[in-house]
């Protein structure tokens, strides 16, 4: 994709643009290879071959076996299948969850609590990391599952999952990893993590929306969410999303091929962006800067501004970024991730997230580095009253 001198898309943690090769891989499934993968005739078998080829590609991306991959509609379903599938009878069960999880895990855990499960919420330090010792202290005889994300969607901070995995294995407690923001950006190997379950989603690494997967280690007992056919070895009933799965498979293949070079390129662009902003406005804090991070993500705390105001100002210049806040029903609440890291509500609302992708180019970042400090300076000139109003919930 050619660079757009009038702006650029820097919200790749929200979703990525499907690569041209991904679109081409999906096209036949909407035309000639449109069969049901469960049918035994030729069209059905052509569809089955597409599904199984994608399963192999998805497995190779995370170091799994193909028969350990369960295709889903995305990361949210994969997370829900992991939690509700492992704790199908919540009363008396205990679950350990980090306090910075995506809402797909966070709200699923809260629902399990409503149904009678006990939930231990792991804190994080200012650097955004869970302490493995806190996981160990939270264990109980009735602990049925530990769920800790690999990379945070707002800060990009990578959690110490190998250490947590060793604790989980020693305690013989299954571990679920939400790797939606990690797969396709950094090397992810389920064997190294020691997890029984791992969620990922195609649209986070330049595949289509509506296609994801849950890794389920062989021998792990998992109750399905849906009942109907025997699809996905009885773990996910419903006719497979053939085109979406084909796109996921091609995106996985390309991500694996380009992983090292893309990580270097994106980390170089991210570091240049952060350095330029810090040089122009020294008060800016890069959250998680001293922790391991995925190479594409920068979360900036900019004292004195409202994150939403900066997002809008940059959108008018053609640049797409996001805030560190979650929006619901027209109200803006401070990010649970940032407040868990110790930020006050007003500080959390003064944060923005910039997330790069495979289609971003250095010239886009260079242009952005000239525009971003100028927009920040302009917003800082606003009256304190206007700034306070902009920072308040709607």
Q: For this structure, is 327 an active site residue?
A: yes
The C-alpha atoms of residue 322 and residue 326 are separated, in whole angstroms, by 10
Supply φ then ψ for residue 175, to 5 degrees.
Answer: -120, 130
How far, in Å, are 106, 130, 155 from residue 124 at the CA level? 15, 5, 13
CA 247, 249, 250, 255 torsion-angle sign: positive
The C-alpha atoms of residue 72 and residue 338 are separated, in whole angstroms, by 29
Catalytic residue among 195, 299, 320, 327: 327
The C-alpha atoms of residue 61 and residue 189 are separated, in whole angstroms, by 8
Closest CA to 87 of 202, 192, 223: 223
In terms of DSSP bridges, do strands 197-201 and 212-216 run parallel, antiparallel, or are they unpaired?
Answer: antiparallel
- C-alpha radius of gyration, the chain, whole number: 21
> Which residues are part of the catalytic machinery?
327
């Amino acid at each position: 994709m050619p660079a757009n001198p009038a702006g650029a898309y820097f919200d790749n943690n929200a979703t990525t643009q499907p690569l041209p090769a991904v679109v081409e891989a999906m096209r036949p499934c909407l035309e000639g290879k449109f069969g049901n993968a469960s049918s035994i005739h030729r069209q059905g078998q052509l569809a089955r071959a597409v599904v199984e080829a994608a399963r192999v590609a998805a497995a190779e991306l995370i170091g799994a076996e193909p028969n350990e991959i369960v295709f889903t509609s995305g990361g949210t379903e994969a997370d829900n299948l992991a939690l509700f599938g492992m704790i199908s009878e919540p009363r008396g069960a205990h679950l350990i969850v980090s306090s910075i999880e995506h809402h797909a895990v966070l709200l699923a855990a809260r629902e399990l609590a409503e149904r009678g499960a006990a939930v231990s919420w792991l804190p994080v330090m200012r650097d955004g990391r869970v302490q493995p010792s806190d996981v160990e202290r939270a264990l109980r005889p009735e602990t049925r599952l530990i769920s800790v994300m690999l990379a945070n969607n707002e800060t990009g901070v990578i959690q110490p999952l190998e250490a947590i995995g060793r604790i989980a294995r020693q305690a013989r407690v299954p571990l679920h990893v939400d790797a939606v923001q990690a797969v396709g950006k950094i090397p992810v190997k389920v064997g190294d993590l020691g997890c029984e379950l791992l969620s990922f989603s195609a649209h986070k690494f330049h595949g289509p929306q509506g296609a994801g997967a849950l890794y389920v280690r062989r021998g792990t007992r998992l109750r399905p969410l849906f009942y109907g056919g025997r699809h996905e070895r009885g773990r996910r009933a419903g006719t497979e999303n053939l085109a979406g799965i084909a796109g996921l498979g091609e995106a996985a293949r390309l991500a694996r091929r380009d992983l090292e070079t893309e990580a270097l390129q994106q980390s170089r662009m991210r570091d240049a962006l952060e350095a330029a902003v810090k040089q122009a406005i020294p008060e800016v804090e890069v959250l998680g800067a001293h922790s391991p991070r995925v190479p594409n993500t920068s979360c900036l705390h900019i004292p004195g501004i409202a994150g939403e105001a900066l997002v809008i100002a940059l959108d008018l210049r053609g640049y797409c970024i996001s805030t560190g806040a979650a929006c619901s029903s027209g109200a803006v609440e401070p990010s649970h991730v940032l407040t868990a890291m110790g930020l006050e509500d007003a500080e959390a609302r003064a944060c923005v997230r910039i997330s790069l992708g495979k289609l971003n180019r250095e010239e886009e970042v260079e242009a952005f580095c000239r525009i971003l400090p100028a927009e920040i300076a302009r917003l800082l000139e606003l009256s304190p009253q206007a700034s306070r109003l902009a920072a308040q919930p709607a």
